[in-house]
Chains A and B, each alone.
Chain A
Amino acid sequence: MIRALLAAAYVVFALVPTARADDALDLRLRHLESGLRCLVCQNQTLAESDADLAADLRLEVRKLALAGKSDDEIRDYLVARYGDFVLYDPPLKPVTWLLWFGPFVLLAAGTVTWIVVGRSRRRATPGVKAEFEVAARNLLAGAAASPAGAAPAGVGQAETDSGDAARQPLDG
């Protein structure tokens, strides 16, 4: 009985480390393949594609990994054959500058436009307001001259008309 248990334990402990090493490799390859594009179904990664070629390439990637190649070396191996297109993360080089920096250039251009337009608008507003200000001052001066101005009931017909005319721009 004890012997059987020991034998079982031996088998289990003998198996566990290799299983772990395999898991680690699987995990590493899965991570690596998730960043690689399948050439056949171009919107799938190498990890998730069912295409024949993807299976072949996964096998190739595993062979390279088992031969001790690093992730970068494996990526270079595929890029040499299929081009940068296999990388979901395109490398930074003169041809891809527009791709990498284009959005930031657009963002900067948008921000500059926004600021310039905002400024010219703010500068334009006081000019319009000056007319209103004069009208408002006139109105206030008129109201101050007539003590009844505060009480609408006491305001005469003619005065109300001119008052309304003066008030109009204020509403607008």
Chain B
Amino acid sequence: MSTSTAGEEIVPTTLGGKAADYLDQRLGIAGAAKKNLRKIFPDHWSFMLGEVCLYSFIILLLSGIFLTLFFTPSMGDVTYNGSYTPLDGIRMSEAYASTLNLSFDVRGGLLMRQIHHWAALVFVMGIMVHMLRVFFTGAFRKPRELNWIIGFGLFTLALAEGFCGYSLPDDLLSGTGLRIMQGLVLSIPIVGTYISFFLFGGQFPGHDIVPRLFTIHILLVPGLILGLITAHLILVFYQKHTQWAGPGRNDKNVVGLPLMPVYMAKAGGFFFVVFGFIALLGGLVSINPIWVYGPYVPNQITAGSQPDFYIGFFEGALRMMPNVEFNFWGHTLSLNVLVPFAVVPGILFGGIALYPFIEAWITGDKREHHILDRPRNMPTRTALGVAGITFYGVGWLNGGNDLIAIRFNLSVESITWVCRFLIILGPIFAFWLTRRICFGLQRRDRDKVLHGAESGIITRSPEGAFSEVHTPLSQGELHKLTAHDVHRPLTLTEVTDANGVPAPNLRRAKLRAKATQWYFGQRVEKPTAEEYHESITSGHH
């Protein structure tokens, strides 16, 4: 395009210029382009985790479309007669037979299946890691609470989507998984049996579940995910990315590199890198070799029947739960199933979804935040997160208790018992330990600010004493290490009315005062300017 000053008519000369001009005359794209082409994105490896999720979702869409061209979502009986001869003459569903054909007769079919499955694991793993990053850095705070909720929605949809996909091939593992799911549904009080019959079109397994899950898996859930991802990205774009504290970076700006060209190349390149990596996995590492499992038959089972990793927590919780069941007035309440399948995950997931609001209420912080918290500077939040990871991790671990028992020559019962205690005690210990570590790290930062960084150079004084030379920090580093707020607990007076009249909800106010005391009661103060000058001038380090 020719450059020109304001007011001069712009006459496009190149083909691309002409196309842009054509669109601009109809859509006015130049305005949007002017604003967004040089949009700034900050550089940090942890900001790439969400992109992993986005890209693996695109890979899932692409490979999934290919798979639908060959997969037959039907539970109709066929006798297999394909090129996988060990299953020759065996009765199976059309779904399973078509998956075998995909794997052995369609060129690139096995590759696409494996890419699809690996991408699914990367998708869910990416979401989990991305959520942890956002949690530990406080990126969910105002104004991004809504995007946290959207992200949480994407997380739960991804779990559901993964489970549906796992169930489609109708092999022995996926059928077993569905059977377990149906057993879980049956435990729901009052409506469980009805939901099960509506879901399966009658008794389990029936003939409807695969086609129904197919529609859910390829249309309903991906549609929702696509919509939510769009909203998620629009909000990220509109609200601009958060950034780490550092010289020149504050809550009013964002420092980084422009979308055009740097982030187009970096993010675009990352898509291809992720896709290439997953394609290599698909070509080199087996995943879900359904032909080895055999078709689903309700009286067959294999040792080590396991779900994909993201269902592992539920599986482990189911294995761990003591066998509590109540019978009353002709009804059965199976807490041994309901608690690990619905109650505990409900509390855990509810807590995750609502955390931004709970924390904002406890801290009373209504300001906008664009500078991320270093996890150590929010010890209670970080400790809660680690406690949550521990809780989830113990459940997850117990989901593989049989394989652990085999690998390490232990008894599966003792692993289960250890996990039963560990799932309660582990998070408590993790919470305590993480807070201690955070305070320790904060003190180290404080020492670094006041006395400089350890240089590794040892000097010997004329008197013979050895000491390490501490290098004073640059002002940029000083700023970075002191940019955070040290929060203080709200006192009860602060939560009462300005005139000293008790707030209408005194009970709530008291609870809040307690919560904020728990949250911020123990803290490490930042060094003040006076302390710093004192330290510098005394030459004390």
Pair from one complex: no
What is A's interface to B at a CB cutoff of 8 Å?
A: none
